[in-house]
Amino acid sequence: MTLSNFAPGVGVQGSGSISIPGIGSGQVSVVYALHGNDYLSHVQNLPGQTAVNDDVVFSGNDICNSKDPQSAGLYLPGIGYGAISITKVK
């Protein structure tokens, strides 16, 4: 997904479709918060999901300084535990 500027000097955001085999399709969103230099990600609208997950926080420095995906665990209410990854692409 592409992140777009939503508030100059504040941050950027993006969203897109996500498909998880055996579960179904939903939405994933990422917001880059300039003030904290963090990427916040959440998943919603998956079949069986009872609430939006708590934000998964990625360090902006970790994302920008690595060519490898940065992964973190997440809990999807009503579904269970999983992982999400972010990779910087130029």
Instruction: Give me the phi and psi of 64, to 5 degrees please.
Output: -75, -25
Q: Do 78 and 51 meet the contact criterion of CB atoms below 8 Å apart?
A: yes
pLDDT at 35: 84
Neighbouring-strand partners of residue 20:
24
pLDDT at 25: 96
Asked if residue 81 has pLDDT above 80, the reply is: yes
pLDDT at 6: 67
The arithmetic mean of pLDDT across residues 35-45, rounded, is: 91
Look at the chain and report how many structural domains it folds into: 1
pTM of the model: 0.81
Question: What amino acid occupies position 83?
Answer: A
- Host domain of residue 70: 4-86
